[in-house]
Amino acid sequence: MKPLSEQELSEIVVNAKTPLNIVGGGTWQARNNAEQLYTSGLSGVSLYEPEALTLVAKAGTPLVEIEDLLAKNGQCLPFEPNNLAALQGVKAIPTIGGVVATNASGPRRISAGACRDSLIGVRFVDGNGVVIKNGGRVMKNVTGYDLVKLMSGSFGTLGVLTEVSFKLLPAAQASATVLVFEDEKTCAATMAAALGSPFDVSGAAHIDGITAVRVAGLAGSVEYRAAALASLLDGKIGKFNWQALRDVQAFADQKGDVWRFSVKPSEGPELAAGLRRLGASKIMFDWAGGLLWVLAPTGLDLRKAEYQGHAMLIRGHALPVFQPQPAPVAALEKALRAKFDPKNILNADRMT
């Protein structure tokens, strides 16, 4: 089914008696054969005010369309959304609604926040078919409960997004990366030193013996900060493929499951060692050591490692995708879901 308006979508949900799988670009394949509900009929930028740093778009709008429009105006989505289609082994064109539903956020998250931090408004159709709006198109808004945050990262289980609004940032006029060649054991300390400096770091990662620290902004400022960081970290200015890291390209053509761990940055290297002992084969660090992308043999349960934080199975079929929550939190989540989707028809196999 492919509704062409919010109203049509609402009618579909009202009349639905069996589960629906919501499909944006199709990056995240469902594990069941429920009927597909495509959002691609709800597409287009509804409002763009560069001087107010705001953009409103229909949920089915391809991400690339938005990024092109913003680039032409020297602006960008602050959270550097990733594209995991290649990693997932699918030919998908990510939509902005899918970005929001999965809270897809790249390396810049450590300075500019996640998708949920830039998202300022949503419209959605809940599981009763009711059209709901929350937030709006202004960047400061505390009017009523913040369902905007709740919808971001809820994987379509609370409602079908129809329109989303963002605050934007000026695109960086220049950027530079400082490289430090070191073992992964010491990388978290290096990245902590970078983030603990006044030099406004917008990316900090470690892959295969290279720690990379990025600064971005006005040209003169970037030159100054990169030199200062190179001196502070005893590194040198060099090249690093941030987009490849963002999209986890290194694991795309590798066999096995792909996991994402979010932990306290200083605990990243120790967790990595534990994961390797369990059998993980490759590990990359983003978010100053707080995010681990992990390649592991199919079906190996890496949640057996010791860590404080959370782990998500990004690619793989044998194990639960989402980490179970502690009982009191799980009870609240279940009750919320039952309110938003009492028929339990929206992406029923997600977030369980």
Partner 1 sequence: MQMPVANAEIIARKAEIVARLRSVLPIDAVIDDPVATKVYECDALSAYRCPPLAVVLPASTIQTAAVLKACHEMGVPVVPRGSGTSLAGGAMPTADSVVLGVARLDQVLETDYENRFIRVQSGRTNLSVTGAVETNGFFYAPDPSSQLACAIAGNIAMNSGGAHCLKYGVTTNNLLGVTMVTMAGEIIELGGAYLGSAGYDLLGLICGSEGQLGVVTEATLRILAKPEGARPVLIGFDSNEVAGACVSDIIRAGVLPVAIEFMDRPVIRAVENFVNAGYPDVKALLIIEVEGSETEIDEQLGKIVKIAKRHNPVELRESGSEAESANIWKGRKAAFGAMGQINDYMCLDGTIPVSQLPVVLRRITELSDEYGLDVGNVFHAGDGNMHPLILYDANKSGDLEKCEAMGAEILKLCVEVGGCLTGEHGVGIEKRDLMYEQFNRDDLEIQMMVKDVFDPKWLLNSAKVFPLTASEARRG
> Looking only at residues 10 through 69 of this chain, which bind partner 1 when binding is defined by CB under 8 A?
49-54
Q: In the complex with partner 1, which residue's Cβ is closer, 75 or 95? A: 75
Q: In the complex with partner 1, which residue's Cβ is closer, 117 or 270? A: 117
Alpha carbon separation from 38 to 25, 72, 74, 104 (Å, rounded): 9, 29, 31, 19
User: Counting contacts by CB under 8 A, is residue 70 touching partner 1?
Assistant: no
Name the minimum Å distance from CB 32 to partner 1: 20
Among 43, 197, 249, 281, binds partner 1 (CB under 8 A): 197
Q: What are the structure tokens assigned to 187, written together? A: 């990388």
DSSP 65-92: HHHHHHHHTTEE-TT-----HHHHT---
Site string for partner 1, 316-345 (x = CB under 8 A): ------xxxxx-xxx-xx-xx--xx-----
Name 174's bridge partners.
Answer: 217
User: Counting contacts by CB under 8 A, is residue 147 touching partner 1?
Assistant: yes
The Cα–Cα gap between 48 and 240 comes to 32
Q: In the complex with partner 1, which residue's Cβ is closer, 40 or 285? A: 285
Q: In the complex with partner 1, which residue's Cβ is closer, 249 or 325? A: 325
Q: What are the structure tokens assigned to 161, written together? A: 């997004």
CB 275 within 8 A of CB 197: no
Size of the site for partner 1 (CB under 8 A): 84
User: Counting contacts by CB under 8 A, is residue 171 touching partner 1?
Assistant: yes
Q: In the complex with partner 1, which residue's Cβ is closer, 127 or 235? A: 127
Say whether 124 sits in a helix, a strand or coil: strand
The Cα–Cα gap between 72 and 48 comes to 12
Q: Find the DSSP H helices in 96-208.
A: 96-101, 109-112, 115-118, 147-151, 184-195
From 20-28, 64-72, 88-96, 150-158, give the range in contact with partner 1 by CB under 8 A: 150-158
Among 30, 38, 45, 141, binds partner 1 (CB under 8 A): 141
User: Counting contacts by CB under 8 A, is residue 114 touching partner 1?
Assistant: yes
User: Counting contacts by CB under 8 A, is residue 175 touching partner 1?
Assistant: no
